Amino acid sequence: MKKTSLLVALPLLALSGLLLSGCGIFRSHKAWETAKQEAPLEIPPGLDRPSTAAALAIPPRGANEPTANGAVAAVGAPAGQVSDGFLLTDGPDSVYRRIGELVKDGSLGEVVSQDASARSYTLNVSAASSHKKKGFFSRLFGHGEGEASAAISHQVKVSVDSSGASASEVRAQGEAAAVAKVIDSLKSSLGG
């Protein structure tokens, strides 16, 4: 009986070893042995990074501080200058002519120059500028002088451009208070 148990035990032991090894004999290793590394993906020139041309455009000082009428400085305007405007549903030549009739009476300011080809007027506009209140010690030792205002003349350039098929854009550029005065007057007179 010893021989039969040994004859049965040896093949069972070999078979169990073969099963425990994961049957690697029956697998094909040729697919991974013949695999090649593919070339990395190439990105076309110009598409590898976004444009940074206007990433560092620094606006002028005070550009994000709106004036009393909500106007803010244009990015290309000099410091202390603002640009504001509105749209009208009329042709640019007609709007330029209507603005010319309004500025001739002098209620907006004195016409310094006009350019019919560019559809623009340059006006000297008097706008009140106010000084800040003085602090406690300045008022205490400065004889109590409060807020003072004076009329100062500023140049404002008013231009009319085409905006679409039958619309016009009226723009004013200059000192904030003067621009606000001109734009408010033109809006009320022209119906903008």
- For 95, counting Cβ atoms within 10 Å of its Cβ (0-12 exposed, 13-18 middle, 19+ buried), the class is buried
Q: Assess if residue 9 is contained within a domain.
A: no
CATH number at residue 116: 3.30.530.20
Range of the structural domain that residue 168 is part of: 81-190
Please give the tally of structural domains in the chain: 1
Q: Quick one: pLDDT band at residue 112, thresholds 50, 70, 90? A: confident
Secondary structure letter of residue 44 according to DSSP: P
Residue 33 belongs to a domain: no
Q: Is residue 14 part of a domain?
A: no
Residue 113: its H or E element: strand 110-115
The answer on pLDDT for 79 being more than 70 is: no
Q: Please check whether residue 165 lies inside any domain of the structure.
A: yes
Bigger pLDDT: 53 vs 128: 53
pLDDT digits (tens, 9 = 90+) for 53-75: 666 666 666 666 665 555 554 54
Q: What are the tokens at 59?
A: 């606006």
User: Is residue 76 over pLDDT 60?
Assistant: no
Whether 166 contacts 93, CB under 8 Å: no
Residue reference for tokens 């590898």: 48
Mean pLDDT of the chain: 74
* C-alpha separations of 145 from 100, 152, 165 in Å: 42, 20, 55
What is the rounded CA–CA span in Å between residue 126 and residue 130? 13
Pairwise CA distance, residues 127 & 172, whole Å: 14
Q: Is residue 40 part of a domain?
A: no
Task: Give the list of residues 6+ apart from residue 27 with CB closer than 8 angstroms, or none.
Answer: none
Cα angle value 83/85/90 (rounded, 5°): 150
Q: Taking the C-alpha atoms of 112, 113, 114 and 118 in order, what is their torsion angle to the nearest 10 degrees?
A: -120
Residue 27 lies in a domain: no
Cα-Cα-Cα-Cα dihedral sign, residues 68, 75, 131, 126: negative
Question: Is there a domain that residue 16 lies in?
Answer: no
**pTM for the complete prediction?**
0.49
Let me know if residue 135 belongs to a domain: yes
List pLDDT tens digits, range 146-171. 445 556 788 889 898 887 777 888 88
Tell me the mean pLDDT in the region 17-39: 72
Q: Which 3 state secondary structure label does DSSP give 159?
A: strand
End-to-end CA, the chain? 116
